[in-house]
Amino acid sequence: MDRREFLKRGSTVGLAAGAFLTFGDKINLFANSKTSNPQLYDLVAIKGGEPNAMFDKAIQSFGGMRNFVKQNQTVVIKPNIGWDTSPERAANTNPKLVSQIIKHCFDAGAKDVYVFDHTCDNWTNCYSNSGIEKAAKDAGAKVVSGSSESYYQKVNVEKGKRLKETTVHELILESDVFINVPVLKNHGGAGLTISMKNLMGIVWDRRFWHRNDLHQCIADFASFRKPDLNIIDAYSVMKTNGPRGVSLADVISLKSQIISTDMVAADSAAAKLFGKVPSEIDYIRIANEMKIGTMDLSKLKINRIIL
């Protein structure tokens, strides 16, 4: 037991049984049954508008948010809030997009919408300086810390090759609907960070991934809990020096967005948009081989919208 563990245990003793009794009903992983709805498209790509306007338009191709969020359900939205930088630097998801998604969730009847990320930089700074905390709160969502180990619960990754178990933020396990909202950007270690890579922000121990074949772990974890919807923000895109970036010079304006329920397809499309070959991003290739999704876009029904 290390020092931190010791102190934490000490401080939780006071909680006694009361807190633990409520943990019983937290494992409701497979409580979602929204797959029955036939979708018009597998993937939507849109460009040329503001993030909120593009989302309004693109989500229609999926029959609107009602197809994903039912009355009185709880929703967890996972943007990328990893870095203590301003929105223009595009290291984090666009706050306008996050806000618009939250509004759609409430319009569809969501009871609660939670927003969190396990940030890399100091979480309170990331939340406020990314503009996401304010945007999310103004839209009515609850903004929760992802930087406390106590929120993370142990899960097994059944199909994982290198990553067989990890701890995951309880909101992911408890919420009815999970919406993944990554920002597309360059990444020094993984090549690109998009949907699958964004899920590193819902686990506690990321260092394990880094020292146990990063690409394999990203693909492994993609098999754990597929988000109900992946909305890729490619409005401003960090082309180099990612994932944190150094200055505004790293960023170009692509004014695009990609939405899909298939993370592998979404990441493949986003990789092409970025100018990369999907199969050259190892985790996309591995996830395709593991049949977590498909990177063969030719087999998909894609709606391409240019505003």
Tokens of 123: 């979480």
Please select the residue that binds other proteins; options are 7, 27, 29, 40, rule is CB under 8 A: 7
252 binding other proteins? (CB under 8 A): yes
Q: What is the footprint of other proteins within residues 41-60 (CB under 8 A)?
A: 45, 47-48
Site mask, other proteins, residues 264-293, x = CB under 8 A? ----xx--xx-x------x-----------
27 binding other proteins? (CB under 8 A): no
Least Å distance between CB 36 and other proteins? 28
Least Å distance between CB 34 and other proteins? 22
Q: Is 235 exposed, middle or buried (0-12, 13-18, 19+ CB in 10 A)?
A: buried
Instruction: Give me the half-sphere count of Cα atoms (radius 13 Å) on the Cβ side of residue 39.
Output: 26
Q: Is 122 exposed, middle or buried (0-12, 13-18, 19+ CB in 10 A)?
A: exposed
Least Å distance between CB 198 and other proteins? 14
Give yes or no for a contact between 114 and 175, defined as CB atoms under 8 angstroms apart. Answer: yes
Task: Compare residues 179 and 217 and give the one whose CB is closer to other proteins.
Answer: 217
Strands (E), the chain: 43-47, 74-79, 112-115, 142-143, 152-156, 165-169, 177-181, 183-187, 191-193, 229-238, 251-260, 302-306
Tokens of 129: 């300086």
Q: What is the footprint of other proteins within residues 99-128 (CB under 8 A)?
A: 114, 120-122, 124-125
147 binding other proteins? (CB under 8 A): yes
Please select the residue that binds other proteins; options are 137, 142, 159, 161, rule is CB under 8 A: 142
11 binding other proteins? (CB under 8 A): yes
213 binding other proteins? (CB under 8 A): yes
78 binding other proteins? (CB under 8 A): no
The candidate with the shortest Cα–Cα distance to 261, out of 34, 98, 88, 56, is 34
9 binding other proteins? (CB under 8 A): no
What is the sign of the dihedral through the CA atoms of 217, 222, 225 and 230?
Answer: positive
Task: Compare residues 59 and 76 and give the one whose CB is closer to other proteins.
Answer: 76
